Amino acid sequence: MRATIPGAIEIITKIERETPNVLAESSQVHQIVTNLVTNAWHAIGDKQGAINLQLAAFPVDEDFARTHPDLRPGRYVRLSISDNGHGIPQETVDRIFEPFFTTKAPGEGTGLGLSVVHGLMKSFDGAITVYSEPKSGTSFHLYFPALDFSAAASPEENLGEPLGHGERILFVDDEPVLAMLGERFLQRLGYTPVVQTDPHTALASFQDQPFDMVVTDLTMPHLSGLEFARRLWAIRPETRVVLTTGFSATLDQARARELGFRELLLKPYGILGLGQVLERTLNAAPEPTLRR
């Protein structure tokens, strides 16, 4: 945004090198940053000023979570965007995330910006807070849950003996981060994973070698999870397939079973949830499927 912001406004960035990964759509994060930096620019106006952006790991403890209901204790990444502009009155701060609320003159804004930012942060299972004082400036803090790739299991994920016994699992998800997590989960559970991010490549793998089970995402480019499963069943009708999705408005366990899937696993899921679904599916007796 440097090219669009007046030269009198300094942009200062501080990004910690060891910041953890998060699970978020990059284009939506771009939308969030563009919106907040633009608002900061408008708050400063034509005066000398500065916009500060900081990105760092942020541990949320129980006390902090108690005063921030959208957060849970754990590791987060905090993105802070601050300005030294005119600030926001308290009565306005309390309403800025409402749809269509705006302090801009007619024609200068839609009023949708900050409500969209708030909605996107909720979709990331994160949160956004704002602190402002008139004539002193405004700071937005955005909290993204950190992904933990460490081998150490949380108390919930202390599995004891592996649930699997080397069974071959084909795991398909077009999101590389989720594919990597799936592979690590399956390895720790005692299975032998073959992980693919492209359903067409996964289909070729399925044709070349046998699998005890398939886990597939629903929403993927080029080939949906449903169409992918239908092609699997056309090759080997007895294949046990588990469907994963983060969108469940029109799909539940009953409907998934009607379509031929053994189980529906909702995102986000942990290693324990995945392990329980796989164990149930592998140990269940063969059953006829109804595919539509």
pLDDT in tens, 54-96: 999 999 999 999 998 889 899 999 999 999 998 887 777 777 7
Q: Is the pLDDT of residue 249 over 70?
A: no
CA–CA separation, 121 and 114 (whole Å): 11
Tokens at 8, concatenated: 């009198």
Tokens at 173, concatenated: 């998800």
Burial 163-178 (b: 16+ CB within 10 A, else e): bbeebbbbbbbbbeeb
Beta pairing class for 49-60 and 9-15? parallel
- Average pLDDT for 187-205: 95
CA–CA separation, 63 and 173 (whole Å): 36
CA–CA separation, 274 and 54 (whole Å): 35
**CB of 37 within 8 A of CB of 1?**
yes
Tokens at 111, concatenated: 């009023």
Closest Cα partner for 277 from 247, 226, 243? 243
Burial 14-29 (b: 16+ CB within 10 A, else e): eeeeebbebbbeeebb
- Average pLDDT for 148-175: 70
* Mean pLDDT for all residues in the chain: 85
In which band, very low, low, confident or very high, does the pLDDT at 244 lie, cut at 50, 70 and 90?
very high
